[in-house]
Amino acid sequence: MFSGPNDPETMQMILLDTALDCMRQHFPEAHALLPAAWQKLTDPPEPHGVLPRVSYRVGPPQALPLLGELAACRDLACEATQPLVDTLVACRHGLSWQQSYTAKHGFDRSYLDHYGWINLISTEGPFFDDSLRLTIGYWGAGLHYPQHKHEPEETYCILAGQAVFHSEGLAPRLVGPGDWVHHRSFQLHAIDMQPGPLLALVPWRGNNLDTISSFAVG
């Protein structure tokens, strides 16, 4: 099993390279969302940790309570997603974990202690792009992500665990590792982490990539 490098810069490069390779091989629909420059980096795949001509800035690690739960995702992945899940778990303590929501958005401590995400590519780094955001998100078992929408289109690439997606215009769908769910711009959607947890790689493409989602009322 990959044990993880000690150097934060190398860690970020290996994680991003593994994520891009996972998309290229197993989530072609999501890979198609990537700008051409990012697709070229993974076709053919670069050797691990080699990402030429990419602007990046590695910030300090930031921990969240969910870090204690991530290791269990190794047993909830599939063969296609295992390398990326193993790499994430090995690197988890050296990454900058964040949250979009706080108590003022209606999320209590029982939710916030089991939720978080990292950026791999975004307008703020660690790898920079103004037209793409690539994140890995985690939601603990039993959580409910309320109905919301946002301008960028997105594709959830399920890495580990299971959840039920409620996407506007479609029947509820139980998904697991290796599955993907696409949401159009401003398409309402909600997620029940049942049975959960859910670990997903999510590319976003469009405008207002850093704008917080709008929640449905009522």
Tokens for 83? 């390398």
Overall average pLDDT of the 29-57 stretch: 68
Confidence (pLDDT) at 1: 47
- Say whether 218 sits in a helix, a strand or coil: coil
Chain-centre distance for alpha carbon 190: 16
Please tell me whether the overall predicted TM-score, pTM, comes out greater than 0.75 for this model: yes
Residue-wise DSSP of 108-157: -HHHHTTEEEEEEEETTSSEE-SSEEEEEEEE-TT-EEEEEE-SSEEEEE
| 151 vs 3: CA distance, rounded Å | 38
Bigger pLDDT: 9 vs 74: 74
Confidence (pLDDT) at 43: 57
Angle formed by the axes of helices 82-91 and 8-26, nearest 10°: 160
The amino acid sitting at 142 is G
Tell me the domain boundaries of the chain: 8-46+62-207
Overall average pLDDT of the 70-86 stretch: 98
Report the side by side order of strands in the sheet with 173-175. Answer: 173-175, 163-167, 189-192, 144-149, 214-215
pLDDT band at residue 49 using 50, 70 and 90 as cut-offs: very low
- For the chain, give the mean pLDDT: 89
pLDDT band at residue 214 using 50, 70 and 90 as cut-offs: confident
Domain 8-46+62-207: CATH architecture, name and number where available: Sandwich (2.60)
pLDDT band at residue 50 using 50, 70 and 90 as cut-offs: very low
How far is residue 107 from each of residues 83, 99, 100, 117, 165, measured CA to CA in Å?
32, 11, 10, 15, 19
- Among 82-96, 132-146, 204-218, the least confident range: 204-218
| 33 vs 93: CA distance, rounded Å | 29
Please write the tens of the pLDDT for every residue from 143-196. 999 998 989 999 999 999 999 999 999 999 999 999 999 999 999 999 999 999
